[in-house]
Structure 1
Amino acid sequence: MNVQQWIELLEERWKARDPQGIAELFTEDAVYHQGPYGEAHVGREAIAAHWTATLSRQKDPVVRFGTPAASGDRGFVEWWCILHDPADGTPRTAAGCLALRFAGDGLCAGFHEYWHSAPDVAREPAEGWFE
């Protein structure tokens, strides 16, 4: 599996609201960091639990990924999404970058996610954002 395929599967499983399917994209002992300060999610079970909680706070995701860059076992990709609160439908926008480290089998062994959000607004990317 290459970086582009991995990202396509992540997007597909995110939209399908499949936390277990997302966790299966990672090695058994993967380390998943969401932002630079929080406690890492370690292993597939913890990653699935993280995504279960994440998906419970959103509905109807509109997700976009840029073209990933890869070098050796590393990959990087920008992303943009518009999410809606499941309780009242309030939109929010988030955009960020993923830094990935892959194992020899193509599964992700190290994941760092950096993002910013704009609450209470559905904002499209600026023209040329993913170029």
Structure 2
Amino acid sequence: MTLTQEAPVTVARWIAALEAGWRARDPEAIAALFTADATYHQGPYGAPHTGRAAVAAHWRHTLSRQKDARMWFGDPIVSGDRAAVEWWCVLYDPATGAPRNAAGCLTLRFAPDGRCASFHEYWHGAPGQELEPAEGWLR
């Protein structure tokens, strides 16, 4: 994918599909958004999850530790085959019901077919809090 007039719409559709997979608690739908050899980095340290099966396994584990997630995504910033988007979520521990927040940024590099080939996720968490984004932030 290269920067064209349609690129922000294409990236926004990809983000909407990620959000739909998250809401549906469907790790396979999320993994289908990635190339077969995609790398998925969660934070700057540690080895990436590589390939669709690893992305699905990561999301399976992630979803097992949360319930009733509410999420917001900002408008993507697109340049060439890369995009960045801010996000925010409120979710709950399935065992205790305790709330927690997370907010961060995704950076993505896309393959020509529109699937994500490289995904970097940076975020900060606020355990024990149930905060929606401030007015004007991702709304």
Q: TM-score, normalised by structure 1?
A: 0.97
Aligned residue pairs, count: 131
Q: Please name the residue that 2:10 is paired with.
A: 2
Instruction: Please state how far the C-alpha of 1:38 moved relative to its aligned partner.
Output: 2.0
For 1:66, give the aligned amino acid.
G
Moved over 6 A (4+): none
Instruction: Please state how far the C-alpha of 1:130 moved relative to its aligned partner.
Output: 2.3
Q: Tell me how large the CA RMSD over aligned residues is.
A: 1.1
Task: Extract unaligned runs of 5+ from structure 1.
Answer: none
Instruction: Please state how far the C-alpha of 1:88 moved relative to its aligned partner.
Output: 1.3
**Aligned ranges 1:30-49 → 2 under 5 Å:** 30-49=38-57
Following the alignment from structure 1 to structure 2, what is the Cα–Cα distance between the partners of residues 65 and 77? 7
Q: Please name the residue that 1:79 is paired with.
A: 87
The worse-fitting range, judged by mean Cα deviation, of 1-10 and 72-81 is 1-10
Instruction: Please state how far the C-alpha of 1:90 moved relative to its aligned partner.
Output: 0.4
Instruction: Please state how far the C-alpha of 1:63 moved relative to its aligned partner.
Output: 0.7
The percentage of counterpart residues that share the same residue type is: 65
Cα deviation per residue 1:2-39 (whole Å; 9 max; x = unaligned)? 10000000000100000010000000000000000122
**Aligned ranges 1:12-27 → 2 under 5 Å:** 12-27=20-35
Instruction: Please state how far the C-alpha of 1:49 moved relative to its aligned partner.
Output: 0.3
**Aligned ranges 1:1-131 → 2 under 5 Å:** 2-130=10-138
